[in-house]
Each structure stands twice: as structure tokens, then as C-alpha cells.
Amino acid sequence: MAQAVRVVVLAAGQGKRMQSAHPKVLHQVCGRSMLAWVLEAALELDPERVILVVGHGREEVQAAALAEFPDAPISCVVQEDQLGTGHAVECAAGELQGFDGSVVVLCGDMPLLRSESLAALLEARSGEGMAMLTSFTESPTGYGRIVRDEEGNLQKIVEERDASHEERLIPEINSGVYAFGCSELLAYLGRVESENSQGERYLTDVPGMYAAEGREVGLVELLDAEEGAGVNSLADLAEVRWGLQLRILEHHLSAGVHIEDPATTYIDHGVEIGSGTKIFPCTVLRGGVRVGSGCEVGPFTHLREGTVLEDGAQVGNFTECKKSTLGAGSKAKHLSYLGDAVIGEGVNIGAGTIFANYDGASKHKTLVGDGAFVGSGTTIVAPNEIGAAATTGAGAVVTSSANVGEGEVWVGVPARKLENKHTQEDGGESPNQEGEED
């Protein structure tokens, strides 16, 4: 029978080194907050409850967590004064009283941590003992060191500020992730003191207490040391972003998405891409984007939230899409902005086309019917509608609510319907000549 689990996530810190008034754990990494990545890993343990310890920006942090996981068993407790990690966990004691199971404690600024590592941590805890995650690094600066005895068992954890010169040379570091028996944890928390350089109550003192009393402390080494990386600065944030980005790229590659240059491709969490789609270099796909099968995206393309490319659609060089749908087989290959547009199937959007969706106060939609041909340099002022099989000439400005009818041809500034009789008898220019179809 699987053991009952509750998870305590420490997310109260201000993160002064981030140089931001924004709560540290809510800084974005690949389209979601650091905290969301951590909570996702924690929830995969199927815990009875996740207890979020909040402090700085508490309302914002709590709201973000509950919005991201509205149906999850998440409760919040407040750490009024940040007096150390031991004090933070003690703030959650009311949510742990009477619980007979394992308590996992982790930090909200570790977005690379995997649920598999947390499962291994729980597996390593037995009886009245505890377990913790460690890793080895050539650059241990800033982390607590794991001090072992002659038999290789944990003796203590020493924070860098309190470490001797010899202890600072130890390459094994504490990842700050633990699994305890609940009753033992609560008992030891009451004994944690603040006799250190910071005057804080360190949770890291608790494993040393276990060891001193002969209780088992399982040391679980992270095979991928980057999982234990905590974020304390914007430089740290940039490093973990690349780690998460690689995971996302590998996921899409394994699903049959051809990514020509992963080093210049940015894909957020939650983006859906069908197999057989090609992503060309210098392309950005933000969260909330869905791309079908057999599409082409890029190079130098920006797909923002709410964009949908149906199967076989193509969006190319220096084209930006926001809250727009491009129907099956439709193309917008060059220098265009598609904002708040619903574009049908088999539509050609010529180079330099702008969907002018914002009037200075509100955003408006444009509908483009199947088979329409939008000539190069067309500006469509929303709200508007371009009918099926309609055409706009190069440089046309289709003013707000003009509503080009099905099969009609509109040209000029402002654009007006071009009558067939005029075109045939006066040898008028074909409005299609500046259109773009690669």
C-alpha cells in the first residue's frame, strides 16, 4: 500500500537578489512560474495535501498557485517573518497535526526538480528515519555541504556561512529537499535553535539531529545535479530556463516535430505541435499556442498566446500571430501581423499584411473566409470581414466594418469594390499581381 504523503512547499522568501518587487517564485520560466513547475512535480506524488508556505507577496503567490491548479488539494499558510527554513516548516505544523505519514519538504524556486526524484526520495525513507536529496558539483559555492562520518553516513549539514575552510571544499551539497515521518519532524522542529551567523532557525539542523540519535538518514544522490539548482538571481533563472527548454524541445522532437535548430528555438510549456511540422530557426512559440500536423513555422516567427495553426498552415519570416486561427493550408509567409483574426482554409496572406485589431481602447476581430487572397501590404482595420474567395489588391486599406463580400475584389485607399466591367474594358491592373504565394 502506498504511503500517505503531504508536501510542504517553501515559497515565502522575497528573493532580494532577483532585483525585483515581483515574488521570486512567480518569475516565469518557459511560459509558467517557477512555483508552477515545482507544484506540478509535487502533485505527481498524489499527495493528500500540498501546504504552500507564503510570505512576501502572499496574495499574489496564493492566487497564482490556485489559478494554475484549481482542483488540486493545495492549502496556504503564512510565514509572517522570514526567520529561516525551520521556522517556515513550523508555520505549516497546524496542517500536519494528527497526520500519520511522510512529509516531503521542498523549495518553490527549484523548477528543474523532477517527480521521479521525489518518488526515489520517498522510497529511501524508512521507519522513523528520514531521507534527503544531495548532489555533487565542482562549484558548491552558495550551498550547504554534506559532512559525512568515516563510514559515509551523514554527520551534519553545514551552511556555507558557517562552514570551515575544509568543509567548504566538500563537493557534495544539500539540495534542500527532504522526506520525514510527520511525528518525528514535528518533534525535532521544536528543538531547532538559531545559533548561527544569520540568527535563523535552519531546517538543515534536523538531519544532524537524526544522525546524532542514531536514526537513519538516507542520502539520495541526484543523478542529474541540475535538478537541485535553486534560483536566487536572474543569472540563475537564465540557467534553469535553458534546462527546462531542452526538456520541452526533446519532448517535441520525440513526438515527430522537426526542429531545425534547437539552439534558436523557444517553445513554452503547454504548446501543442502535431507530428510532421517543421520549426525553422529563430522562432518563438509562447504558451497557449496550438500547431497542427504538417505545418511550417519560421524562420523568425513569433506565435503568441491563443494562436492556432490548423493542419498544413504555414507562417514564415518576420510574422507575428496573436489570438488568431489560420485554417488548414493557409499561408502567411512574410512580414505580417495577424491579431485577433479567424482565417479560413486555403487563404493566402500577402507580404506586409496588417490586421489592425486595436483602436486605442479595445481589440476587435477580423474574419477571413476560405480561399481569400489578401494582397501584399493590405491593412485590414477591425472589426471586419473578408468573404470567401474575395481578393484585396496590393496596398489596400480595408476600413473598419467595410466587410468585403464573397468573391469581391477591393483595391485602393480606402479600399473600394472593383467592378468587373471596369477591369475588363479599361485594362485595369490585376489586383493579384503583388500577392505572395511562395
| 3-class SS of residue 371 | coil
Q: How far apart are CA 125 and CA 105, in angstroms?
A: 13
Cα–Cα distance measured from residue 96 to residue 4, given in angstroms and rounded to the nearest whole number: 12
What amino acid positions are annotated as catalytic residues?
A: 334
**Distance between CA 10 and CA 78 in Å, rounded?**
10
Among candidate residues 259, 267, 239, 249, the one with its CA nearest the CA of residue 31: 267
Q: Strand ranges (DSSP E) for 353-422? A: 354-356, 366-368, 373-374, 379-381, 384-386, 391-392, 397-398, 409-411, 416-417
Spacing of C-alpha 250 from chain mean position: 15
DSSP per residue over 202-245, as a string?
A: -TTHHHHHHHHTT--EEEEE-SSGGGG----SHHHHHHHHHHHH
Nearest Cα residue to 410 out of 383, 385, 427, 382: 385
Please name the amino acid found at residue 356: A
